Structure formats: C-alpha cells, structure tokens
Structure 1
Amino acid sequence: MSLQDEVTAVQRCLDDLGRALARLEKHLGSQDLELRRVRTDAAHLRESVTLLRDAHPGGQPRPEPVQVPDAPYDASLWKDADDEGLGARDRHAP
C-alpha cells in the first residue's frame, strides 16, 4: 500500500472510532469525564493524521538518512585546520 492509502486507512479507523464514541455517548451521556477525554484524544489524533498527510503531499516518503561510516576520517583532511579554541597545532597560545 502507498503512504496515502495507509493514511486514508488510519482516517477511516478514526471515523469508526468517532461513530463508536457517539454510540457510547448515548449510553453514558455527554458529561462523562472519561468519554470527553477520549473524544479529545480522538480529535488530537485526527489533527495529527491531517498534519502527517500535509507533510507528505503526493505520498512521498521521507528521504532515507545518509549513513556515516564509523571508520576514522583521513587525518590529511585536517592537516591545516585549527583546533577549536586552541589555534593551530604548530603554534603556542599567547
């Protein structure tokens, strides 16, 4: 499935959750504290899924991270570089 299909499936599940909460509200009443908390959480989830969809328009996933090797860098890359806060290697601090 594509990313957009997955997000759409999540939104459908949230729609089902909203309908189930509406049925519960008929039994428990709209003033039930725990039910209000769940409704608020469901609304936050819906907003988050919308933000997720907007962050990846066209279903493009995030780019793959660049792997940095654990091997040490070639010391010649730093040949003429100053050590931060210490100055050049061949000079003494004043």
Structure 2
Amino acid sequence: MSVHDELSSVQRCLDDLTRSVGRLEQQMGGGGLDMRRVRTDAEHLRESIGLLRAAVATQVTPGRPDLVTMSDTPYDDSLWIDTDDEGLGARDRRAP
C-alpha cells in the first residue's frame, strides 16, 4: 500500500474511533475525567494525522531526482591550462 492509502485507512479508523467515543460518552454521561481524557486523546490523534498528511503532501517523490539541464556549448579551454589529463600523465611526458 502507498502512504496515501495507509493515511486514508488510518483516517477511517480514527473516524470510527471518534463515533465510538461519542456513543460511549452518551452512555456514560460524559462528564468524568477519564471520558474527557479519551475524547482529548482522540482529538490529538486527529490533529496528528492532519499534520502527517500535510508533511507527506510537501515531500518530494523519492527516486525521482530533479532534472538538471546540461549545456551543449564547449567549455572554455582556459579552465584546463594548469591541469594534467588524469591517467595519461603530464603533457610533455609519456604515460607509464
């Protein structure tokens, strides 16, 4: 499953949890400290999933690097005056 599918599954489960907490709150009277903690925890989960969805939406797709345009114009020869050809030795000597 993709991350989007997993987040959707978590969201559905969280919606079920919220409905169940609401029904339980009606049955128990809803005024107790324990019930308020459960309701608050469910709300925190909803906020956390929202933040996670936002973070996933801003991520760059892995495995697909940004394209870099390479110019077809030749390099300036003055860039290579003080260098040797790697693996070929110096210009005035023979390679081993």
TM-score interval for Structure 1 and Structure 2 normalised by the shorter chain: 0.5 to 0.7
What's the % identity of the aligned pairs?
54
* Structure 1: gaps spanning 5 or more residues: 64-94
AA paired with 2:22?
A
Q: Which has the higher contact order (CA 8 A, sep 6+)?
A: 1
Q: How large is the RMSD of aligned CA atoms in angstroms? A: 2.2
Structure 2: gaps spanning 5 or more residues: 64-96
Superposed CA deviations along residues 48-93 of structure 1, whole A, max 9, x for unmatched, are 0110010011786778xxxxxxxxxxxxxxxxxxxxxxxxxxxxxx
Structure 1 residue runs of 4+, over 6 Å off? none
- Aligned ranges for residues 61-72 of structure 1 at < 5 Å? none
TM-score (norm: length of structure 2): 0.58
1:30 aligns with 2:30: yes
The number of equivalent residue pairs is 63
**1:14·1:42 contact (CA, 8 Å) conserved in 2?**
yes
TM-score, normalising length: structure 1: 0.60
